[in-house]
Amino acid sequence: MSIQDFFNIDSEVRISKGFLFSCAINLRESTYQVIPNSLLPVLSLSKKKSLNEIAEMIGEEYTSAFFNELVEKKIGIFSQKGMKDKQKNILIKTNDLFVSNVILEINRNNGDYFRQLFNVGTEAIMIIIRNEDDFREEIISCINNCITITSLQILTDFDVFLKYKEHIMSYEKLGLIICANSNENSVEQLNNLNIVKLSKSINEVIKDQSTSPSNFSISKKNYIESLKYNTYLYGKLYVNSHGDVFNSPCSDRLITNIRKDDFSESIREFFYQSSEIKLSNDFCDVCKDCEYRNVCVSARIPVMRGNREGYFEGECNYNPYIGKWDWEIGYSSLSECGVTSDKFGFRIDKKVLKHKIKELWRN
Ligand code: SF4
């Protein structure tokens, strides 16, 4: 990098400011870079001052490392002149309050009812096949050939996968196969197909509420939805083997049954009335302070507290108050950091948290 250059943020980048860190998200390139909040002023300076001038203020080594990393992650580019940061308005057509993703259990009794899902805007389907006898080639082929379906995934038992491997691998739209009850945990890539083998059971996979960067969805659609809705629940459905329809595998509130004539109306009404769906991360304890709140699609259902805010019954694997995942050295739980979130409210013991941050980040 020539230190005389300017740095310009990409017009498709949005910055989500968290408690300690911020996340710069490039919505066109689907990349992100975490930035310490202390460096945000440096970033905004880059619009007005050359990197040479900034290096004189904070040190050349520091400046190069910071801006080179941002260029690598496509957050911005170096140029000869400082340009005005003109962020485009993101215009995107969404299926307003309707279905986008469905988890569908298929079996011998499904009949043709699954076709109802084609009329409600479904774009992505994950099919669950629990047993050998539940494999229904005609249903999977029909879903694979439906022009409105853009993404197809299969979650099945490893033994079922082995038995029907040839069939399964032939579906053109299939992007992911998850084989539960495998004797190993591994990921294999075959052309454009990801084969994930997990030792967990099918139920453990669909009810897994742990969060990690693999739950992030970096897209314009998800970003826009995250500003207004809970992205795990918004436009999502789970249809069990009896045809009963729920918002997600973790929801216990029955919406309707896929065999009912008023299936579409019932779903519309549910999406319209559900308070949890309208609870974006900005209104949920802890997530509201997290830099990942506009990319994270965590399988955690908030509990309403009053009309306009929510909390979670368990802790996330990420603690935004210290900027650590639970597998990282230095991680502490929320309670160890003086953060309490429950049905009574949200509280931070500033003294305890300040001490934790100092202990962890003093260097
Ligand atoms: S704190 Fe919330 S937004 Fe942040 S990673 Fe966890 S679930 Fe996602």
- Rounded to whole angstroms, the Cα distance separating 112 from 261 reads 13
324 lines ligand 1 (CB under 6 A): no
Q: What distance in angstroms lies between residue 231's CA and the mean position of ligand 1's atoms?
A: 12
Whether the predicted pLDDT of 283 surpasses 50: yes
What is the rounded average pLDDT of the residues 34-48?
Answer: 87
Confidence of residue 304 (pLDDT cuts 50, 70, 90): very high
The predicted model scores a pTM of 0.88
Segment 35-44 mean pLDDT: 89
More confident of the two residues 329 and 111: 329
254 three-class SS:
coil
Q: What is the distance in A from the centroid of ligand 1 to the CA of 281?
A: 8
CA distance 272 to 284: 19
Identify which of 286, 312, 331 to mutate to test ligand 1's pocket (most ligand atoms within 8 A of the CB): 286
Averaged pLDDT of the chain:
90
What is the position in ligand 1's atom list of the atom closest to the CA of 320? 1
287 pLDDT higher than 80: yes
Decide which of 216 and 191 is more confident.
Answer: 216
pLDDT digits (tens, 9 = 90+) for 237-270: 999 999 999 999 999 999 999 999 999 999 999 9
Contact 298, 304 (CB under 8 A): no
Give the rounded percent of residues in the chain with a pLDDT score beyond 70. Answer: 94
Q: Categorize the per-residue pLDDT at 183 as very low, low, confident or very high, splitting at 50, 70 and 90.
A: very high
Cα of 263 vs centre of ligand 1, distance in Å, is: 32
Residue 323, phi-psi category: left (phi > 0), alpha (psi -120 to 50), beta (remainder):
left
Residue 167 has pLDDT above 60, yes or no: yes
pLDDT in tens, 44-102: 888 788 888 888 888 877 778 888 999 999 999 888 765 555 566 655 555 454 889 99
Q: Atom 6 of ligand 1 has which residue's CA nearest to it?
A: 316
- In short, whether 339's Cβ falls inside 6 Å of ligand 1 is no
Q: Are strands 236-239 and 101-105 parallel, antiparallel or unpaired?
A: parallel
Q: Where are the beta strands (DSSP E) in 252-291?
A: 256-257
288 C-alpha to ligand 1 centroid (Å) = 8
For the segment 295-304, the average pLDDT, to the nearest whole number, is: 94
Is the backbone of residue 345 left (phi > 0), alpha (psi -120 to 50) or beta?
left
From CA 267, how far away is CA 246, in angstroms rounded?
9
The pLDDT-based confidence of 156 (bands split at 50, 70, 90) is very high
